[in-house]
Structures are given as structure tokens and as C-alpha cells.
């Protein structure tokens, strides 16, 4: 795992932009990006939106979506992606789980077919305080594919800041599985702030265990971790 300790999230996002630019240069055909939402990648998306990069030959496949929120709901991840990136940088095609499909079997199979059809070249990840990646909460099997997740209290509390009140946070989500994340050719995982320090330590130095989903990234051949000083506090 390559580790970049940066001074600010802007410096980290610039590093991410450079790596995305390199991926676009290296792949002459269609490029498939796996994308995350949440607070962490917002600066990256802002810089990408302001850049000269062209994503018209790119496919975007998002990690996850809340069950029960449609794309018009400002808290949905579909809305987030349109707001922060897709409205400014058109992609050839974008995919995100359909939170309005209450048939989890149908929806998760549909998403796995998309992932089979478009292998991910570069996956962008954030890191949950409890070590989750995507919405793969502690205990999720490493072999998991797309599935419906019951969100933990820790994740609901962490995400409540995006909602009027914590009771508004949906209790479940559809998430790409850990197996699909690990199938990406290259992964960038970013984490900023002291609230992420313990999870970063377990990701980098801890045993590889389903109790810390991100720890499996130690076994991926091409991962770059971008962290600020506060998040890197326990690995220095």
C-alpha cells in the first residue's frame, strides 16, 4: 500500500486528480471509475469539475445508495453525484443502485451484472470511522457482492450530519460488496481528520479481519492511501 500524508484535503484531492488524469492517459478505450460519496471526496469532485479532464468516454459506478431515497431527494447519493460531479462533467454512462427498488434480490443482481460488464479501472473510496468501505459494515464477508445492508448505529450517527435529524437517516442501503471493490485494478482510499485515525491504523497495521472491512485492502496489489496528518496520527 502506498501512503501519502498530505497537509490538507485539497492537497490530497490534487493528488487524486493527478492519479485520475494518469488513468485516463493509460487507458485508451473506455475507462471505468468506481465512485464514493460522503464528505471525503467532495474536494476531489470540486477539483475534477473545475479541471479540463474529459469523462465523455468514462463509465461511473457508484458504491452505494440508501434504500427508500429517490434521486430527487437531496440526501440520496444519486442527487449528491449529480450535484457534485455529473452535472458538471458528463460521463458516457453512470450507475448507482436504485434505492427505490424494494426488491433487494432483483436490485442487487442487476448491480452485479453491471459490475461484471464494466470491470473497474480505478475505485475511489472513503473510510468509515468503524472501518467500513462502501456500506460494508464490520462483519461483512470479504466474498460479498452487492447486497442490502442494515446500517450500524455508528454509521447512522456519523451520517446524521447530512440529515435534519438522525431519525431521518435510512436504516438500510444497497452496497457494492467487498469482493467487487477488491476486483478494481487500482484503488485510492482517502481519510481526513482525527475521527478517522483509529480506523486508518487498523486499515494499515491491523490484522486482516472482517471486523475491519478496510483491512482487506492490505491484500490488494495497487492501493494508494491519502491521509492528512490528523488521520495519520496513529501510523506515524
Report, as residue numbers or ranges, the catalytic residues: 64, 130, 132, 137
Q: Choose, by CB under 6 A, the member of 39, 68, 138, 206 that binds ligand F6R.
A: 39
64 belongs to the binding site for ligand F6R (CB under 6 A): yes
Under rule CB under 6 A, residue 147 binds ligand F6R: no
| Interaction between residue 128 and ligand F6R (CB under 6 A) | yes
Question: Considering only 15-23, 66-74, 101-109, 130-138, which stretch makes contact with ligand F6R by CB under 6 A?
Answer: 130-138
Question: How many whole angstroms separate alpha carbon 44 and alpha carbon 28?
Answer: 23
Binding segment toward ligand F6R, per CB under 6 A, in 14-22, 47-55, 133-141, 217-225:
133-141
Judged by beta carbon, residue 118 or residue 213, the one nearer ligand F6R is 213
Site string for ligand F6R, 19-38 (x = CB under 6 A): -----------------xxx
Q: What are phi and psi of 72, to 5 degrees?
A: -85, -15
CB atoms within 10 A of CB 112: 17
Segment contacting ligand F6R by CB under 6 A, of 5-13, 111-119, 127-135, 214-222 = 127-135
Contact residue for ligand F6R among 40, 108, 123, 140 (CB under 6 A): 40
The reply on whether position 108 binds ligand F6R by CB under 6 A is no
Contact status: 76 vs ligand F6R (CB under 6 A)? no
Total interface residues for ligand F6R by CB under 6 A: 14
Count how many residues are written for the chain.
236
Our CB check for ligand F6R shows the closer of 27 and 229 to be 229
Phi/psi at 151 (5° precision): -70, 145
Distance CA 205, CA 215 (A): 8
Instruction: Give percent helix, percent strand, percent coil of the chain, each to the nearest 5.
Output: 35, 20, 40
Q: Are 170 and 69 in contact (CB under 8 A)?
A: yes
- Among the residue ranges 44-52, 110-118, 132-140, 215-223, the one whose residues contact ligand F6R (CB under 6 A): 132-140
Query: Which residues of the chain form contacts with ligand F6R (CB under 6 A)?
Result: 36-40, 63-64, 126-128, 132-135
Amino acid at each position: 500500500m502506498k501512503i501519502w500524508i498530505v497537509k490538507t484535503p485539497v492537497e490530497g484531492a490534487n493528488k487524486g486528480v493527478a492519479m485520475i488524469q494518469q488513468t485516463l492517459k493509460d487507458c485508451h478505450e473506455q475507462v471505468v471509475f468506481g465512485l464514493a460519496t460522503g464528505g471525503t471526496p467532495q474536494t476531489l469532485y470540486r477539483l475534477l469539475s473545475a479541471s479540463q479532464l474529459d469523462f465523455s468516454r468514462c463509465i461511473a459506478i457508484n458504491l452505494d445508495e440508501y434504500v427508500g431515497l429517490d434521486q430527487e431527494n437531496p440526501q440520496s447519493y444519486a442527487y449528491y453525484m449529480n450535484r457534485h460531479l455529473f452535472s458538471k462533467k458528463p460521463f458516457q454512462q453512470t450507475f448507482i443502485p436504485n434505492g427505490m427498488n424494494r426488491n433487494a434480490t432483483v436490485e442487487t443482481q442487476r448491480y452485479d451484472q453491471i459490475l461484471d460488464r464494466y470491470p473497474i479501472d480505478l475505485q475511489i473510496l472513503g473510510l468509515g470511522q468503524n472501518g467500513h468501505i462502501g456500506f460494508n459494515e464490520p462483519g461483512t464477508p470479504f466474498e460479498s457482492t452487492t447486497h442490502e445492508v442494515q446500517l450500524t448505529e455508528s454509521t447512522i450517527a456519523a451520517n446524521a450530519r447530512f440529515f435534519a435529524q438522525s431519525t431521518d437517516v435510512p436504516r438500510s442501503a444497497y452496497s457494492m460488496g467487498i469482493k467487487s471493490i477488491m476486483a478494481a485494478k487500482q484503488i485510492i482510499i482517502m481519510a481526513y481528520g482525527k475521527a478517522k485515525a483509529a480506523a486508518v491504523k487498523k486499515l494499515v497495521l491491523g490484522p486482516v479481519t472482517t471486523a475491519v472491512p478496510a483491512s482487506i485492502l492490505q491484500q490488494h496489489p495497487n492501493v494508494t492511501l491519502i491521509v492528512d496528518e490528523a488521520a495519520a496520527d496513529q501510523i506515524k
